[in-house]
Structure 1
């Protein structure tokens, strides 16, 4: 081959080789977006070098050979540019779809076929002639139909890529805008140069200035690599890496304004959705945390736990402050990492509540075992000893009759104690559920009155009721019966001879039925009332020295809560006591 080198050709060859070296260097950086840019630079290098050799050719046949090589770069350059822009803007999922990739590959492949087979159809070039009138021989191309089609495809992909970059530039944070500037300017210059060539604005005659414009693009990219670390692995991966993090990050400048953040930050702050975070002061983001603001303003590296409310939910988080100086972006900036501690705090609170609950259960268990060991064993031992004495004729019938009332009280106490222990134990078993059903409240109350008549008669206590028939409740029948039994038993226990007990039931406006058991007994002190339902196992003896277990009211409170009801008490010493329970009347 015969070449006549000239200044234009030498410039293209030099910068084409430089671009090829940069393309190899950039491609080896490894990430997808970097490789696409490397391929785009490679296409530019092929175009520049082949065009430089074309401008050095003396004959038309030799020039056509290099024109065919040029089009490897020309046909693939807009494609690589578009794929680079997609990847740079985190939209690389688009070209990974087979149909989309096939559509954008049709034009470059068809163009190469058209160029290489042009002598057969002249669809790409109508004609190519060699002119020797200038300072050096040059080929003049007369465009054909496919040439204009490919030009439209070229500009379409170039425009789409520029739109993606401009859109990213508009929404990107200030700290990364310098990188986007270099890419946008580098893309627009070759576009303008090529349009001027096609429109006939040709200051260099037949020479296409587009490859020379890409030389300037190469310079800008080189500047971006050196000055702005354009393809440093960290800046390129920044958005994907930051958005994948569950911890919130924000970067403050030397005036404590936000210049960068990730989307996870939004779970820790409350700002209007349309308001931009970038540019806001740290006081605006955390107005209720002056201690955090003071640490940031003082430039103190530290960690601190904070609490805030976001969308009416309490959020616990740890803020870690890191102040950096002598960097290449600002005089000083602060990085704040926010780690969500809400789940851990809630788990800790649940664990604490469970520990307290377990402690209460253990205390109650110890209390029950103490009762079983002492209060339950004592009456049974006494009864056993008396029966032995009777069987061995060690006591007379008169003495046995004298002991019978005491033994009867012990048996009643033991029966009540066993019943309460069994009910409480059953309620604590796993899998024990509340079996709600509709039942007649009056029938339950009448059954309990009949059950307690013997013990009430011994103390000459009258039991009255004012409960209408067919008053219906919806609850666990057995639990309701146990509650009424315990309350009625307590009323008799703390009544003197001649007292009265009145049981009433009435519907409430909130869909509940209220059952009250009022006695005219000795009453309860305010100090004792405050402890009744706090699981402190209050046990008092009755007016006839009747024993108490301390479990009854605790069980009543538990059973009412399980059925969606409640229990309350009002009392005055020397006047009497009223216990009221409420249960639902419907499902």
Structure 2
């Protein structure tokens, strides 16, 4: 090949070679947006390097070869610029879509193919010829329709990337101004030079100075990367971090005007447009909080609690104020940072945690009581029964003596059976994932069955059970649970009744519930015992005929009623008897 090198070609070749080597170094060493910048440098290097040899060519055939190579860089340059800007502005999800990426690559490859096959269709360049009127030969081109379509595509990608940069840096803090200016200025240099070239302003004849402009662009962005630490302090990264924070953040300037904030901060404002927040005085945003305004005005760091109500709800906030001076920020004025932490959720969680702790303590006490009963009360009757049976088998006691002991054994067995029932039902209700099987059923059927079950114990003490519940009183609850509740309360009433007492059972409709009332005129309960029942504590007291109690019955009844959206109310007076009011829902809630 025959070359006649001139100053412009030498400059382009030298800078193109240096840029090519630097692009390889950056691509290998860095990642993220810097890697796309490396590809952009590579594209600019190809364009500059090939254009330098085109300017040094003496024949049209040789120049056409270098133009074909140039278009590799020319076509890749706007694509790499767009990818660089997308990554820098945090919009990289767009090109991660395979279809979008395929379209971008295809639009970059088509112009290259159009140039390489131009001799067959002349759609990109209508004609070539060497212009020798200048200081050195240069190719003069007559543009075809494909060229203008590509030019429009070229400008579109440059414009899109520049727009992304502008909106990304628009709200950036002053700390980013050095890198912002260098990037924005660098983006517009090729625009201006290329537009002036097509408008006919050509001080160097046919010489296209756009590659020189891209060399300047690459140089300025390189300064932003390594001098101003462009990718060490990314505004988009800072914005993502702020937006992910649950606490509200707002930054004020020296005149107490809002210069930055995150989305969480907007929740605590009244109905105000997003565009009106920046530049607004903090006193205007929180007009009812004079103490906050005073602390900010006096530049006092500290914490203060705020109560705010707006269309988003009611909030209890803790505002932490931090004042930063120009030495800390490297700015020419001081600023105030306010962090707003929502105490509403924290306090709700604290109350929930306290409630759970109390409930856990109660369950733990009940568990200890259950184990104590199992270890003592449950084991004792079984041991006694075993010993008496062994003595009977060994003829240590006679049949007549066994018959004398049998009433006591019968009471022990009945107590043990009831105790086991209560323990098993309570344990089952505490299992994780255990649900209740609610359905409609006739209350009278359960009452009749339970009264028949307790008649032998009632007749032994000559107690009358008077039941006055009409058939068809339908309730909506877990049938087994209500059966256990009624059984325990009836058993409790019989246990604490003297001979010749009466137990009355009635049911009436009240405010969406059936009130089942079981009343007796037995010994009643003291105020202390009644208070323990209301608090959910388990108590154990022997009956009028020394019947033992488990201490679990009423605890289970209260818990089962709550699970069925009902309630249990106990009223009692010592020496006058007790009244148990069971409220059962009659429909779905």
Q: Which runs of 5+ in 1 are unaligned?
A: 301-307
Larger mean CA deviation between 178-187 and 429-438 belongs to: 429-438
TM-score, normalised via structure 1 length: 0.75
- Aligned 8 A contact 1:254 1:330 in 2: no
Aligned residues: 568
Give the aligned partner of residue 204 of structure 2.
204
**Residue matched to 2:305:** none
Match of 1:235 in 2: 234
Equivalent residue, structure 1, for 2:418: 420
Q: How much does 1:189 deviate? A: 2.0
Further displaced range: 486-495 or 182-191: 486-495
Contact 1:413 1:547 in 2 (8 A): no
Q: State the shift of 1:424 in Å.
A: 1.7
CA RMSD after TM alignment? 5.4
Contact map agreement 2:174 2:331 (CA 8 A) in 1? no
Name the residue aligned to 1:305. none
Cα 1:384/1:59, change in 2 over 3 Å: closer
Shift in CA distance, 198/568, structure 1 to aligned 2, threshold 3 Å: same
**CA–CA separation in structure 1 for the residues paired with 2:278 and 2:537:** 57
Alpha-carbon distance between aligned partners in 2 of 1:229 and 1:151, rounded to the nearest angstrom: 33
In structure 2, distance between residues paired with 1:10 and 1:337 = 61
Q: What is the distance in 2 between the residues matched to 1:463 and 1:61?
A: 120
Structure 2 unaligned segments of length 5 or more: list them.
303-307
The question of whether the paired residues in 1 share the 8 Å contact of 2:250 and 2:265 is answered with: no
1:557-568 paired onto structure 2 within 5 Å: 557-568=558-569
Aligned equivalents of 2:158, 2:49: Cα separation in 1: 22
What is the CA–CA distance in structure 1 between the aligned matches of 2:517 and 2:390, rounded to whole Å? 40
How far apart are residue 194 of structure 1 and its match?
1.0
Q: Work out the CA distance in 2 between the residues paired with 1:36 and 1:393.
A: 104
Give 1:298 deviation, angstroms: 8.3
Superposition map of 1:185-200 within 5 A: 185-200=185-200
Residue of structure 2 aligned with 1:357, choices 363, 385, 390:
363
572 and 76 in structure 1: CA distance in 2 versus 1, 3 angstrom threshold: same
Tell whether the 8 Å contact from 1:174 to 1:259 is kept in structure 2 after alignment.
Answer: no
SS of 2:234's equivalent?
Answer: helix
Residues 46 and 70 in structure 2, CA contact (< 8 A), matched pair in contact too: yes
The match for 2:26 is: 26
Gap change, CA 1:586 and 1:309, over 3 Å in 2:
same
Distance 1:59 1:337, change over 3 A: farther
In the other structure, the counterpart of 2:518 is: 517
Residue 555 (structure 2) aligns with: 554
For normalisation by structure 2, the TM-score amounts to 0.74
Distance 1:210 1:547, change over 3 A: closer
The residue that corresponds to 1:303 in the other structure is none
Distance 2:421 2:474 in 1: 24
Contact 2:176 2:235 in 1 (8 A): no
| Counterpart in the other structure of 1:489 | 491
1:369 matched to 2:375? The reply is yes
Distance 1:174 1:506, change over 3 A: farther
Work out the CA distance in 2 between the residues paired with 1:484 and 1:4.
Answer: 109
How many Å separate the matches in 2 of 1:449 and 1:2? 118
Residues 322-341 of structure 1: CA deviation (Å, up to 9, x unaligned): x9976768999989999x99
Summarize the alignment of residues 324-473 of structure 1 with structure 2, pairs less than 5 Å apart: 357-374=363-380, 391=398, 408=407, 410-411=408-409, 413-428=411-426, 434=436, 436=438, 438-453=440-455, 455-457=457-459, 459-473=461-475
Cα distance in structure 2, aligned partners of 1:124 and 1:457: 114
Partner of 1:28: helix, strand, or coil? helix
CA deviation vs aligned residue, 1:324-370 (integer Å, no higher than 9, x gap): 976768999989999x999x998999799657634531332213322
Q: Is the 8 A contact 1:268 1:315 kept in 2?
A: no
Contact kept, 8 Å, 2:572 with 2:578, in 1: the verdict is: yes
**Distance in 1, Cα, partners of 2:381 & 2:156:** 95
Partner residue in 1 for 2:528? 527
* Secondary structure in structure 1 of the residue aligned to 2:6: coil
Deviation at 1:458, TM superposition (A): 5.2
